[in-house]
Amino acid sequence: MATIEDFRKIELVVAQIKEVKEHPNADRLYVIKVDTGKEERQVVAGIRAAYPKENLIGRRVVLVSNLEPATIRGEQSNGMILAASDENGISVLSPDREVVLGSIVK
């Protein structure tokens, strides 16, 4: 079980997707540039089968912003876009109204 202190270590912020490219070495991954309101960063996300690129650009998403950077199939990832999955596929989590980029998700 995770404690409330464990949960408080995770930084969740609202970011906006600015650019989406197919990952050059993986059929299920996108390389995505997001704007956190303070900076732009690159993340790698396994949402390619669920969303065409054009449906993601401009979308506000919830980003785990303090993950340790990882190299995923040769591409640097500096965060994680939150998504839910079930028998119907993947659904990226987004605020239900436009909020300021960088807003803290609690």
In a domain, 87, yes or no: yes
Instruction: List the pLDDT tens digit at each of the 106 positions of the chain.
Output: 999 999 999 999 999 999 999 999 999 999 999 999 999 999 999 999 999 999 999 999 999 999 999 999 999 999 999 999 999 999 999 999 999 999 999 9
pLDDT of residue 30: 98
pLDDT of residue 56: 98
Tell me the CATH number at 46: 2.40.50.140
In a domain, 60, yes or no: yes
Neighbours of 39 (CB within 10 A): 11
pLDDT of residue 3: 96
In a domain, 106, yes or no: no
Distance CA 60, CA 71 (A): 24
Domain count, the chain: 1
Instruction: Please give the residue range of the domain that contains residue 48.
Output: 4-92
pLDDT of residue 39: 98
In a domain, 20, yes or no: yes
In a domain, 100, yes or no: no
In a domain, 97, yes or no: no
In a domain, 98, yes or no: no
In a domain, 101, yes or no: no
Taking the alpha carbons at both ends of the chain, their separation in whole angstroms is 19
**pTM of structure:** 0.94
